[in-house]
Amino acid sequence: MDKRIAMLLAGLCLAVIPACGRKGPLILPPGRAPLPVAELSAAAGRGAVVLRWIDPVKTVSGRPVGPLAAVEIWVFDKGLPAAGVPLTAGAVEKTARLAGRIPAAEFAAHRGAAGEGSGVMTFTYDLPPGTAVPAKLAFTVRVVDRKGRFSDFAAPAVVEAPGRAPGVDRPAAPGVC
């Protein structure tokens, strides 16, 4: 009888040991997802913001990235993201809005002065007419490859809203930049 109890206890211990450690579903690392875009910058112009960035050339695991399917541009126009806090997809989708999506077929039209194939992209965000202009705007960008894998969001680029002078809390008069 003692052997049966000992075997039963040993079996229970072996069954419990694998339950130790991290709880929840297994999450595989996103090794084949593209890296985030690099050098995201924003410059205010007359009634618009021009964004510039460099497309990723590698995946998270360091392999060359495949063809991109699209680039998404997100704008925080009702509140800036917290400084130093990484942007998660859920947080961005709750607090920002999609300002534009550039499909692969339109990439050539958005290439910068460096030319086709350089990976430098630009996008012009026109302020919606008749809306209140916030003091500052923040933008972030992510890419998606042809297999539907999204990159992480790039660190936000913050810019004074077009048509505003620094330190002014109201929109500038029409025609004044």
Report pTM. 0.70
Mean pLDDT over all residues of the chain? 78
Number of H helices, E strands in the chain: 2, 7
For 32-61, the DSSP string reads TSBPPPEEEEEEE-SSEEEEEEE---BBTT
- The amino acid sitting at 135 is A
Domains of the chain: 38-160 (2.60.40.10)
Q: In this predicted structure, what is the pLDDT of residue 40?
A: 92
DSSP state letter for 85: P
Statement: residue 173 has pLDDT above 60? no
> pLDDT: is 166 or 62 the higher one?
62
Nearest to 96 by CA among 129, 34, 138: 138
> pLDDT: is 15 or 103 the higher one?
103
pLDDT level of residue 166 (50, 70, 90 thresholds): very low
CA 105 to chain centre: 21
pLDDT level of residue 133 (50, 70, 90 thresholds): low
